[in-house]
Amino acid sequence: MALNLDSSNVATRENRIGSITGYIGSLSDLAEKSQCGTLKGCSRCFSQSSTCLSSCALGQLSAIRDIAIIHHGPAGCSVASAGSYYLDKVMAKKRGVTNNTVYVGTDMNENDTIFGSAEALRDIIIEVNKRYSPKAIFVTSSCATGIIGEDIDSVVDDVKAEIDVPIVAVHCEGFKSRIWATGFDISDHAVLSSIVKPPKEKRNTINFKNFYESARPEIIEMFKEFDLEPIFLYCNSTVEELSHISESLATTCICGTLGNYLGNGLEEKYGVPYIRTINPLGVAGFETWLREIGRVTGRSEKVENYIAKQREIYIPQIDAIKEKLKGLRAVLGMGPGYTFEVSRVLNELGVEVVWALAWHYDKKYENGDVPPSMKYLLENDVDFEASVADQQNYEVMNILKKYQPDLYLSRHPGSTVWAIKNGTPAVYVADEYMIFGYKHTLEFAQSILDSINNRSFEKNLARRVKLPYTDWWYQQNVDKFLEEAGK
């Protein structure tokens, strides 16, 4: 990719890597069309609400310790600050550190949309800096400030002389992209352009991009065996830590959608290799990923020893549970960083994927390749019906009603409950490490089994509730509202 750290603006995923949010067909067709360049995303003439890219961007940045986020916009935009305050406190407490990050809004009103509020914003930045002495300041825009042309870049440039920590403008207009993952890129761009410094020395560290570092202790333990030290990003990261990530031996990520921009950026700018394998979920994923880390960091032998030891413990247990999962049919809906990875794991466990929804789809990654998770499935002759829909719940419900799978798996808040109302058992794959490595793959298989074996909750609820969609909708094809769709 062409990284331009001199500009505070990041091109959207749609424009940069041809990402789409509307498609219905099959996995093989999706891959074929992406490879030959004929894939065109569809739009919808009816849609339900999804997610704002600013939630992803600022969710990432606000997890960094002791920084300030100044969200310039109406109170609804900065409402995420309430959730961040809570998350920052509990994540720090869990880890045994303190986090004094502040996330404030500017409560922009109607007058501000007419006359602008650059001066007020300037004062707010100075005041926040005075109150909290943050280690870095991110000044971010909103739809309203974007449209009226509020020049946050100039405000930031203007206060730089008075503020002795990194301060950067972060462009977060929600209308820019339907792909909320663009927000991840925006946060990476802000970190790369304002905090990361050129390397002074190489360290035996590995950058590990994740969400909430729940598997941190065990990953530290594992990497110790390879004489590697993981640096988890960005939850509980310090600005000091981040300034050194260019000195790491490699960058890896629990979710390709999340880490793609940072990984490629560090590789392009500072030559830090980015591990581009399938993700460490399931057996094949974990082993492929570990071996690549071994290769890139020159630790292949140690990695092979580790794999051999772990296989002895876990493979027999995983094989045993596979017997019980055989024949189950699943539908899943997740971000593309997970959909095609979890599909692979389900296939590995003997669960048949009948339909996979990805909340968006990146035609290619920043380096121009088809996403590795797709490639793997195709090379292993796995195919299923697939669609791309930005959490369009009515499409999910249409699919669930028609296919009546044994199981629905989803990763986003508010999505599993609808499957349950349909009477379909649901597994909420919330934690990014829920299927990580051998141990969690086993746990994942077990939790599928437990969900299938007691369906009381969903049966009780489904019997009593009415679904909010009309019979008319259930009689339609799922692509009813896609425009320019190949029917």
Partner 1 sequence: MAKLLDKQRYKCALGAMQTVQAIDRAIPILHSGPGCAQKLSDSIGSSGYFSPNIFPCTSINEKDVVFGGVKKLDTTIENALKVIDADLFVVLTGCIPEIVGDDTGEVVSRYREDGKPVVYASTAGFKGNNYKGHEQVIDAIIDQFLEKSEEKEKGLVNIWADVPYQDLFWLGNIKELEKLIAEIGLTPNTIFGYKNGIDNIRKIPKAEFNLLVSPWVSLTNVKKMERKLGIPYLHYPTLPIGAYETSKFLRTVGEFAGVDKDKVEEVINEHENYYYYLIERYADLFLETRVMAKQFSVVADAQYALGITKFLVNDLGLFPAKQFVVDDTPKQYRDKIKEEFENLNYDIKAEVSFETDGYKIHNEIREHDYHGYPLILGSYYEKEVTGELDGHYLNISWPVQDKVVLDDFYVGYTGGIRLIEDIYSVAVQRFN
Please pick, from the candidates 3, 39, 64, 128, the single residue that binds partner 1 as defined by CB under 8 A.
Answer: 128
Of 51-59, 234-242, 326-334, 361-369, which segment contacts partner 1 by CB under 8 A?
51-59
In contact, 389 and 21? CB cutoff 8 Å: yes
Closer Cβ to partner 1, 71 or 299, answer by number: 71
In contact, 125 and 106? CB cutoff 8 Å: no
Is the previous residue joined to 23 through a cis bond, with omega within 30 degrees of 0?
no
466 binds partner 1 (CB under 8 A): yes
* Binders of partner 1 in range 380-409 (CB under 8 A): 390-391, 393-394
| Least distance (Å) between residue 138 CB and partner 1 | 16
| Least distance (Å) between residue 84 CB and partner 1 | 10
Distance (Å) of CA 34 to CA 37, 263, 310, 476: 5, 22, 37, 27
Q: Which helix (H) or strand (E) holds 420?
A: helix 416-421
Alpha carbon distance, N-terminus to C-terminus of the chain:
34
Closer Cβ to partner 1, 96 or 414, answer by number: 414
475 binds partner 1 (CB under 8 A): no
Tokens of 259: 């880490």
Closer Cβ to partner 1, 251 or 391, answer by number: 391
Distance CA 408, CA 412 (A): 12
Please pick, from the candidates 37, 76, 217, 298, the single residue that binds partner 1 as defined by CB under 8 A.
Answer: 76
What does the radius of gyration of the chain's CA atoms come to, in whole angstroms?
A: 23
Residue type present at position 15:
N
73 binds partner 1 (CB under 8 A): yes
79 binds partner 1 (CB under 8 A): yes
C-alpha of 298 from chain center? 29
Please pick, from the candidates 111, 161, 368, 463, the single residue that binds partner 1 as defined by CB under 8 A.
Answer: 111
Residue 301: HSE in the Cβ half-sphere, 13 Å Cα cutoff = 0
Distance CA 184, CA 253 (A): 13
29 binds partner 1 (CB under 8 A): no
Distance CA 220, CA 231 (A): 9
| Least distance (Å) between residue 467 CB and partner 1 | 8
Burial of 398 (0-12, 13-18, 19+ CB in 10 A): buried
477 binds partner 1 (CB under 8 A): no
Please pick, from the candidates 8, 19, 54, 187, the single residue that binds partner 1 as defined by CB under 8 A.
Answer: 54
Closer Cβ to partner 1, 139 or 245, answer by number: 139
Closer Cβ to partner 1, 178 or 244, answer by number: 178
Residue type present at position 376:
Y
453 binds partner 1 (CB under 8 A): no
Residue 80: HSE in the Cβ half-sphere, 13 Å Cα cutoff = 22
Strands 385-389 and 22-26: antiparallel
In contact, 402 and 331? CB cutoff 8 Å: no
351 binds partner 1 (CB under 8 A): no
* Binders of partner 1 in range 156-215 (CB under 8 A): 174-178, 180
| Least distance (Å) between residue 254 CB and partner 1 | 22
Closer Cβ to partner 1, 14 or 366, answer by number: 14
SS3 383: coil
49 binds partner 1 (CB under 8 A): yes
Please pick, from the candidates 104, 250, 426, 448, the single residue that binds partner 1 as defined by CB under 8 A.
Answer: 104
CA angle 124, 161, 148 (to 5 degrees): 45
Of 49-57, 350-358, 365-373, 438-446, which segment contacts partner 1 by CB under 8 A?
49-57
Of 101-109, 158-166, 200-208, 436-444, which segment contacts partner 1 by CB under 8 A?
101-109
| Least distance (Å) between residue 331 CB and partner 1 | 17
Of 125-133, 195-203, 272-280, 365-373, which segment contacts partner 1 by CB under 8 A?
125-133
414 binds partner 1 (CB under 8 A): yes
Residue labelled with tokens 């310790």 = 65
Q: Which helix (H) or strand (E) holds 169?
A: strand 167-170
106 binds partner 1 (CB under 8 A): yes
Closer Cβ to partner 1, 27 or 80, answer by number: 80
Please pick, from the candidates 4, 7, 9, 48, the single residue that binds partner 1 as defined by CB under 8 A.
Answer: 48
Please pick, from the candidates 99, 193, 415, 441, the single residue that binds partner 1 as defined by CB under 8 A.
Answer: 415
Please pick, from the candidates 78, 339, 343, 424, the single residue that binds partner 1 as defined by CB under 8 A.
Answer: 78
Closer Cβ to partner 1, 134 or 280, answer by number: 134
* Binders of partner 1 in range 416-435 (CB under 8 A): 417-418
107 binds partner 1 (CB under 8 A): yes
User: Nearest CA to 103 among 75, 144, 145?
Assistant: 75
The sign of the dihedral angle between the CA atoms of 416, 418, 421, 424 is negative
User: Nearest CA to 167 among 106, 210, 212, 124?
Assistant: 124
Of 84-92, 157-165, 220-228, 329-337, which segment contacts partner 1 by CB under 8 A?
84-92
In contact, 254 and 279? CB cutoff 8 Å: yes
SS3 369: coil
User: Nearest CA to 346 among 356, 358, 360, 336?
Assistant: 356
86 binds partner 1 (CB under 8 A): yes
Residue labelled with tokens 């498609």 = 23
144 binds partner 1 (CB under 8 A): yes
